[in-house]
Structure 1
Amino acid sequence: MTNLMNFFPSRTMSLYMAKMFLVRTFAILAALVLVLQSLDLLTESGRVLAYAGNGDAEIWRYVGLRAPQIIATFLPYSVLLGSIITLSQLNQNSEVIAMKASGLSAHQVLAPLMLTGLVVAAISFTFNDRIVARASATLAQWKKVEYGPLPVDRGDRSNVWVKDGDDLIVVQQIKGRGDAAQLFGITEYEREGQSLRSILTAKTGRRDGTGWHVEGVQRFDVAAGTLMPLAPLRIADGVRPDQFTLASVNADGLSFSGLYEAITDLEFAGRQTKALRGSLWHKLAGPLSSILMPLLGAVAAFGIARSGKLFVRAVIGMALGFLYFVADNFALAMGNLGAYPPFLAAWAPFLLFLMIGEAVLLKTEE
């Protein structure tokens, strides 16, 4: 523990730098949220008020739901700008030179900011998990009803498919939940390996023990080319009701644990979850970018301010930070398309720019 504490500057200097960093970061964030929320209201307030009966209360409700999304989106940008402003001021006031003259390395100078960035990352993760996820889910539902009263979710779903061994079951409509779930418009593609053997259709189905009792049944034999009516029978033994009633998952509207559980259920139902796994990993990688920002902005800290290149160094730090955000969004999009593995889509930009930041720091330190 003593060796770890010796890695940081003095306690007074560390607290001084952390305070500067936090004040500038959250001041920039407050300004960004105020401006962006005002601009967002210019476009959405008309839609909110277009629904009959909506007024000031609904406008403030929209602000309360939209503001957490804006905070979560622009907190990393604020950390980047806060880092650059803090380090530029320390450099301009020759405080960085004083710290280096006392024997501190570049990494030791940055240590208080990176530790503070870890605290900001923890706050960001908790805020996203507890507040942003719920606000995003509610706002998405509110937009679907054009800012009218939110309907009660009774569990009705449509056009759902489930994998049962080699067989595929497609249901046009599901009503209810649990053992009370009812299926309508059932089609079961009965396969042997990858070969289609027959197609079973039924009008209705209900829960029967661990399977489903279906009525109005017909089976089309692919090899014989014949269609045969059948008596009511039991199918899909072992398929749970929640495998049918799983809705499309909005990753932004779920907490980390909620998204993990949804992915587990979807995988058990035989559905693709690569894009959701990328979003799950990004719920960790996104907040941790707060640790990376002081390293990318460190180019503004080192170099003689009197050389006249301090502004250029600050611009380089901003460019590195914004390139990270571009790479992060690109990798996440490629992960959603299935071009990148989920882990790579979430963590590759972080690890890449961590190495770039270290290389630039070692190259530019004077």
Structure 2
Amino acid sequence: MSGIGRLDRYVLSRTFIGVGGALAILSGVILLIQFVDLSRSVGVRADVSVAQLFGLTLLKAPALVLLLLPFVFLFGGISAYVGLNRRSELVAMRAAGVSAWRFILPSALAAFAVGILAVAFLNPVASALSARFEADRARLMENYLTDAPKEVWLRQGDERNQIVIHAKARDAVDGAVRLRGVSLFIYQKNKDGIPQFKRRLEAAEARLLPGFWKLTDVREATAGEASVRSDSLSIRSSLDSESAMERFSSPEAIAFWRLPEAIRGTEQAGFSANGYRLRFHQLLATPLLFSAMSILAAAFSLRLVRLGGLGGLVGAGVAIGFVFFFFNEFAGALAGADILPLFAAAWAPPVIALLSGLTLLCYTEDG
């Protein structure tokens, strides 16, 4: 058993070397493409230096690398197993009576573990950097297309009240959300749970502080009564600065650990949280997708070189990887349009990829 253990560790180390090489190459390509794209979209519209563009590129790149990590395991695994095959090491393993399942399983489990780490730790970091990227890009381009609409709509609520917030512009000052030209429409739920309009507030500015909105230059209008003016007014808020900024962001820009809170807050405010739920399930399915790609890489690379056709199988494996990637994106789009159930759209692609890899591996190994 100790010999088999050493063999497993050797194959696993070769697999990680292949995955590391694929990660380095893919990261370099992403940095180059992203830098060129930002040079075209930001550099020609704002007065920015090369260093600033490169800084924006570094902020955006981690999210893109995480998105394409399944390809890293696919390409890295193919590279590792093809290398073992060409050096006749697979022939020696087969001659020693070692089944492919014995050294593929550790690689698949390692890919699963990396998927857990990517979701639990790398995803929050990438989400924070993406939020910083969006803020920095907006700051650099704030003087471009100044006539473009900048209106903001927010909604917050609890079991008793619902508040719809409209503002003409927003920005962030010292980490706090500030809205200008603000209208607040306050509703109160009746005994049947139906919101009924109670009052409207108009304010020159609203700043979100811990637990409340601080309004300045306020005019308050209640149904059937004259409007009342005040210099300042505080309104209780269920939002904090981070969750308020998340309302302006796509589900992909929200960290994994904050998605359940975003789902609860969005539904409590009366909005659909399908986008957040889909993203949450897709992240939960990520470790399974990584493991499936690792198994697919092995399934398409174990054919012995002397039998011929290895290059065609490797090309087919790469093509299948792209097919599953676009299938995953397509399923998400169908779920966003309420055509597919969210759970099926998130879990079907990795499950199908895993079953396909296992089926091909059974055919290749056991005939």
TM, length-normalised to structure 1: 0.75
Runs of 5+ unmatched residues, structure 1: 1-5, 150-155, 220-227, 233-238
Match of 2:320 in 1: 320
Cα distance change, pair 46–301 in 1 and its aligned pair in 2 (3 A): closer
User: 1:279 offset after TM fit, Å?
Assistant: 0.5
Q: 1:37 aligns with which of 9, 31, 49?
A: 31
Q: Tell me if the contact between 2:331 and 2:345 (Cα under 8 Å) persists in the aligned partners.
A: yes
2:289 paired with 1:281: no
2:221 paired with 1:217: yes
2:97 paired with 1:103: yes
Give the alignment of 1:247-266 within 5 angstroms. 247=245, 248=247, 249-266=249-266
Give the alignment of 1:77-116 within 5 angstroms. 77-116=71-110
Task: Output the amino acid matched with 2:74.
Answer: L
Match of 1:225 in 2: none
Runs of 5+ unmatched residues, structure 2: 144-149, 213-217, 229-234
Task: Output the amino acid matched with 2:283.
Answer: K
2:185 paired with 1:186: yes
Q: 2:128 aligns with which of 127, 131, 134?
A: 134
Q: Identity of paired residues, percent?
A: 23
Bigger Rg, structure 1 or 2: 1
Task: Output the amino acid matched with 1:124.
Answer: A
Give the alignment of 1:1-16 within 5 angstroms. 10-16=4-10
2:57 paired with 1:59: no
User: 1:315 offset after TM fit, Å?
Assistant: 2.0
Q: Tell me if the contact between 2:124 and 2:257 (Cα under 8 Å) persists in the aligned partners.
A: no
Cα distance change, pair 140–215 in 1 and its aligned pair in 2 (3 A): closer
Query: Alignment partner of 1:340: what SS?
Result: coil
Query: Alignment partner of 2:164: what SS?
Result: strand
Query: Alignment partner of 1:103: what SS?
Result: coil
User: 1:276 offset after TM fit, Å?
Assistant: 0.4
Task: Output the amino acid matched with 1:242.
Answer: S
Match of 2:200 in 1: 202
For 2:261 and 2:162, the matched residues in 1 are separated by 23
RMSD: 3.9
Task: Output the amino acid matched with 1:114.
Answer: A
Q: Tell me if the contact between 2:119 and 2:256 (Cα under 8 Å) persists in the aligned partners.
A: no
Match of 2:232 in 1: none
For 2:85 and 2:17, the matched residues in 1 are separated by 18
Q: 1:125 aligns with which of 109, 119, 123?
A: 119
Give the alignment of 1:127-166 within 5 angstroms. 128-147=122-141, 158-162=152-156
For 2:324 and 2:46, the matched residues in 1 are separated by 44
User: 1:83 offset after TM fit, Å?
Assistant: 1.0
Q: Tell me if the contact between 1:51 and 1:147 (Cα under 8 Å) persists in the aligned partners.
A: yes
Task: Output the amino acid matched with 2:308.
Answer: G
Query: Alignment partner of 2:257: what SS?
Result: helix
Task: Output the amino acid matched with 2:353.
Answer: F
User: 1:243 offset after TM fit, Å?
Assistant: 5.2
